[in-house]
Structure 1
């Protein structure tokens, strides 16, 4: 008789298990690992950019006719605006990370309940904590490194949710973004980070974000550096002001289009993009190039037009495979003498600058076929060049 009593759990026992199961199944869906990583990347990026912007504001000095006290108020206003904008940028990501942490608590509790039920003498007589296969409905697994995590292997924005976002070419993996019937979806920072996670997971070789970022997006998330298989990256026609230092991790990148943004400078890690062959930096606000730029020795085509360069670094002479160089519409007053080391140069466009003369070393460019100098102050060509033209 005593044994029979243990074969059937008490009603209260069953009700307790049922309530645990019901509450667990009513919880919102667990974010995927990729979504959580994207959110963490956004938080890291925003924190870094906020710190840099606040430091930049602190370095500002008042104009002569503005009292220091009044200018100090202006600085505080500027800092408050930056902090508010960064708060808005991190809001969605912070909420997702908070949700994931909360659900981790529930995951631990349901695993504990499962262990208690499975170890009971009448466990086969109580409702299962999951589906027919004995797993909870949201399919959890335990990893020694990551704890409890989703195991349904759902791709970030896959299936119907990712329709119009991912396009695969026959020769390479490419990700482009659209929304519905040919309309372009404008992405916030969180969605950009999620797209990058998708690219990293699928091993995409082409990512096209041309004109697809919201106007308020002024920087890219740090997880950009995860795109280790990327060969082409299109970021033109946005409002990007800064690139993350992690961009230097894109070791296989061969084509980079950053045309028509608001870039002020490039990180020193930019010189690590040593596979780069085609680079378009035209129509930005760049005044200088990092010294590491000379490491881009595989560059074939370089467009620096419509910026604010007053000079080019001597390291440009390291670009021995460069065939096309466009520096039209800048404030160049001179070219570095090392330009003569760019022995592969075929086309050099210098229109709309402040050049008064060309260096003698330009005569060494034996392969040069196209040289444009319209709207400069050059009165005569260097003697070395005249001889080479004869």
Structure 2
């Protein structure tokens, strides 16, 4: 019995019909590649498709995933025919040893993958030993979870699932044993399975823009991890296990609810960049000084009142941003971090009233922001900052140098302080006038009188 013409895109009745799986031997309209023949070979092929689409999943699809607004699966769009006779849409980017990269033909919701088509794609990718799979913004809104069969992609090295609506990751995600790059940013993931720790070859993990409130303890097993992005989540703390990631180079935890960075952060001995802006930090751990490889440290918009003295050990530090905090002062020890090129201590408002006296040690400094504080006098050593190119000092009650000098730029400030110090030194070196002849005679007579008195005694 022949099927009627497939429903057009946007037809609700046609979408509803997809909730009931078609039976083997009646898939000619779905496959769209064999015509209306009812031969035994066709029935065998259709049975294979039926098993691939509906029988290989361990978890049955929920009705709302099955009722898809995307009926391009049964449309007459030009298909891509694989060697096994299976017809799949030209949708995601798949790269393996036999297939060249393809891209989505458009970005409308009608072009996105339903749960059925995602399961089909996983099966095909598994057979083709796919290396890279790009599903960025390619899943239908109804797809909130991934099929368990995702764990079959053991040859996959790069998986991009960003900008979708995923809520849950299956435990089988740990089966992606070859994965080095996993991008899950901009989804709705609330927690991670413990099996995430089985991705022992993972080098880059992006979880930005989700709804995570904790991290699994298995995170400590991701020993090859070099880049970790946890920004824009709901994390109140970082686990102590973060210190186990000795190969970690970039850590981004900005825009969370973190109140404290654990002392174990000192174990991240390869870390070059740490960003923790927009949190609730009140201090930085003393262990931060152990990370001698650190080049960029940004902790803007927190509640930090003081910096640890151990920052003097940060010999590689080039950029430090502690603006919009509650800093009362900058420790003198920071001036031993002589590799600093950019320093921002602006917008600490009424709390910061001075700069460290030895700030002139930072001879490589090119940018300095002290705006919106209560600084009245710049230290004399400021004149040693000859490499300074950007100096922001607005909204400070500056007296030395005067505000009008500061507004002329950093070199004007350096020159002003140089002149000021030279004038003071010149005054201190003025030679005292010699005593007059009268004074010398009086001094001589007084000495003789003292000597005669001593002889009488």
Structure 1, unpaired ranges of 5+: 1-21, 48-85, 93-151
Q: Is the 8 A contact 2:200 2:223 kept in 1?
A: yes
Of 86, 91, 105, 1:156 maps to: 86
Q: Is the 8 A contact 1:310 1:331 kept in 2?
A: yes
- Aligned mates of 1:29, 1:175 — CA distance in 2: 30
* 2:304 aligned counterpart, secondary structure: coil
Map 1:192-203 onto structure 2 (within 5 A): 192-203=118-129
In the other structure, the counterpart of 1:45 is: 59
CA pair 239-182 structure 1, distance change in 2 beyond 3 A: closer
Q: Is the 8 A contact 1:174 1:207 kept in 2?
A: no
Write the deviation string for residues 258-308 of structure 1: whole angstroms up to 9, x where unpaired. 010000000000000010001100000001100001111101111000000
CA pair 172-358 structure 1, distance change in 2 beyond 3 A: farther
Q: Is the 8 A contact 1:173 1:205 kept in 2?
A: no
2:212 is the counterpart of 1:212: no
Of 198, 219, 222, 1:272 maps to: 198
In the other structure, the counterpart of 1:242 is: 168
- Aligned mates of 2:100, 2:286 — CA distance in 1: 45
CA positional deviation for 1:228: 0.8
TM-score normalised by length of structure 2: 0.54
- Aligned mates of 2:246, 2:197 — CA distance in 1: 15
- Aligned mates of 2:192, 2:98 — CA distance in 1: 29
Write the deviation string for residues 225-248 of structure 1: whole angstroms up to 9, x where unpaired. 000110000000000001010000
2:242 is the counterpart of 1:316: yes
Map 1:1-390 onto structure 2 (within 5 A): 30-31=45-46, 33=48, 36-42=51-57, 44-46=58-60, 86-89=62-65, 154-157=84-87, 161-163=88-90, 168=95, 177-179=103-105, 185-388=111-314, 389=334, 390=336
**Structure of larger gyration radius:** 2
CA pair 204-351 structure 1, distance change in 2 beyond 3 A: same
CA positional deviation for 1:324: 0.3
TM-score normalised by length of structure 1: 0.62
Q: Is the 8 A contact 1:320 1:342 kept in 2?
A: yes
CA positional deviation for 1:206: 0.3
* 2:165 aligned counterpart, secondary structure: coil
CA positional deviation for 1:24: 5.7
In the other structure, the counterpart of 1:16 is: none
CA RMSD, 1 decimal: 2.8
CA pair 33-352 structure 1, distance change in 2 beyond 3 A: same
CA positional deviation for 1:89: 3.2
Structure 2, unpaired ranges of 5+: 1-36, 69-81, 315-333, 337-457
- Aligned mates of 1:224, 1:217 — CA distance in 2: 14
Matched residues, number: 266
* 1:284 aligned counterpart, secondary structure: coil
CA positional deviation for 1:359: 1.2
CA pair 337-26 structure 1, distance change in 2 beyond 3 A: closer
* 1:317 aligned counterpart, secondary structure: helix
Larger relative contact order (Cα-Cα within 8 Å, sequence gap ≥ 6):
1
CA pair 26-154 structure 1, distance change in 2 beyond 3 A: closer
- Aligned mates of 1:284, 1:154 — CA distance in 2: 38
- Aligned mates of 1:221, 1:297 — CA distance in 2: 27
Q: Is the 8 A contact 1:328 1:352 kept in 2?
A: yes
Write the deviation string for residues 105-142 of structure 1: whole angstroms up to 9, x where unpaired. xxxxxxxxxxxxxxxxxxxxxxxxxxxxxxxxxxxxxx
Q: Is the 8 A contact 2:246 2:270 kept in 1?
A: yes
